[in-house]
Structure 1
Amino acid sequence: MTTARLAPRTALFLPASNPRAIEKARGLSADLVILDLEDAVKDADKATARIAAVEAVAQGFGPRLAAIRLNGIESGEHLEDVAAVAASRADFAVLPKAESAADVAQVARALGKPLLAMIETPLGVLAAADIAAVPGVSGLIAGTNDLAASLRLPPSSGRAQMGVALQTIVLAARASQVWALDGVFNRLDDPEGLAAECGEGRALGYDGKSLIHPNQIEIAARVFGPSEAERADARALIAAATGGAERYEGRMIETMHVDQARALLDRI
């Protein structure tokens, strides 16, 4: 499914059970707010969190997109979540631990609204291309924490050990022209590390970053956006191009490069 909206650079997860966090999010600059009903919410609070999420998206988040993350398919809360989110004003639903196109298709049909599928397990990675192609799926989100655990990576491992999986998710998203959002960065007091990981994600082809703290928004938005040098080069390339293959600033360019430059400027 091709989505007409520009992909978010920043997607902030927050517990739907935390009213203060929800209210604060209305004034934040995140492109997408994801109200979480799954991991961030205690079992005893699931029902009230569901009600709070529906009420929150009804009030809206200004210019920001809003999504609600469902409990997983195997959860006893899943069907109630689907019914509530389907009737809500959420722009998107988020499905955790997507592992098969058939299951994702069933959820997408029941929701009747755009779905972001989280790829968090080896089965999910192997099925990512089929999942991305499901009608109603607007994007894939790399669930790097769960993916690292399910791959049995030691705690000392870095993202390099997930490189094949991370690139597979991007390939799947691009094949179906849907969004690809990178996984969260856990170290809240390491802005340099966050910036480096955002740069790595952008270099892999991800559109944006999923986040777990408001302090991460500015860094991710900056790194996933074009730099001034990139913007200037894109404008100059477009102005210089006359059609067909030609020499520009010591390199060969053609229509594809002009299209890339225009796409970059659209991200401003």
Structure 2
Amino acid sequence: MRRRLALAALLLPTQAVLAQASGGAGAQSGTHGYWWYEAPPEVEKAKEGKADPDALVKPMIPPMAELATWTPPKIRTLIEQQRDYAATVLTVEAVSDFWRLQDFARRKARAFAGVTQLAMLTHPELNARAANPMVGEARDVLGAQKDQLRRQYLRAKAGEFALVMFARASCGYCRVQWPIVQRFQDEMGWQVSLMDLDRKPELGQRFGVEVTPTTMVIRRNSAQRMVIAAGVETYPNIVQMAYQAVRLLSGDIRPEQWLTAAGEEDGFFDALANGPVSSTDPRVIGGDLIDVREPKL
């Protein structure tokens, strides 16, 4: 008797499933067996309405008045869609529509360039020509002024800094670089030293020098130093790099102003002329700009 009851209990779920599958009363009432699987209705609808991403769809090109209000990224997307569509169907009309969109983008870019010129005339402080003239004679005068400022600054720092060139006897490039470094000594009045790594290899490890020739600015009685040339460099480049290195080590400029040349401080080419440009600037605290300039009297 007990065996019959146990067998009946095992067969009940199976019988219910068979009844539902055959359209029995259980299926009509909405009840399902234990092993009845059915996807939710929203999943089935999503499968039916899912579009093929590679399907060929003709882009909808709006009227010119509406297209003029679109942002450049939106216009660029439409142009790319039309290009792909035209390259697929290869009809005259589709290709013509693509080039019409290209012509619209060209005219929009030209209009932007025209308004830009007017903006530069209205706000000359935004125009690089005021700080970097294109006329040859003016550029020569500007170059001479910058060179004079660099020389005066470096000569004033001759007692505080020195130039060291690391070399090896087997380095042919070192023999080319050394006379250039010596010229720096003659014109700027700096002490210049030649360090032979073949004789004193420990200097290479101490100063982290692996390539010869390596030219380095060293601050006297200090651990501050900076490489200004790795390999052969021209004399003007040595002067420029030494000038920037000394200004940085002296605290006259910040790293963001490394490309600010002599005489360009607080001008168009000074990255920090109008305030900080990085979150690590000490003038920015908690995302807010702190004005550290002295108050005007």
TM-score band, normalised by the shorter chain?
under 0.3
More helix as a share of residues: 2
| Bigger radius of gyration | 2
Indicate the structure whose relative CO is greater, using CA pairs within 8 Å and at least 6 residues apart. Answer: 1
What is the TM-score of this pair, normalised by structure 1? 0.21
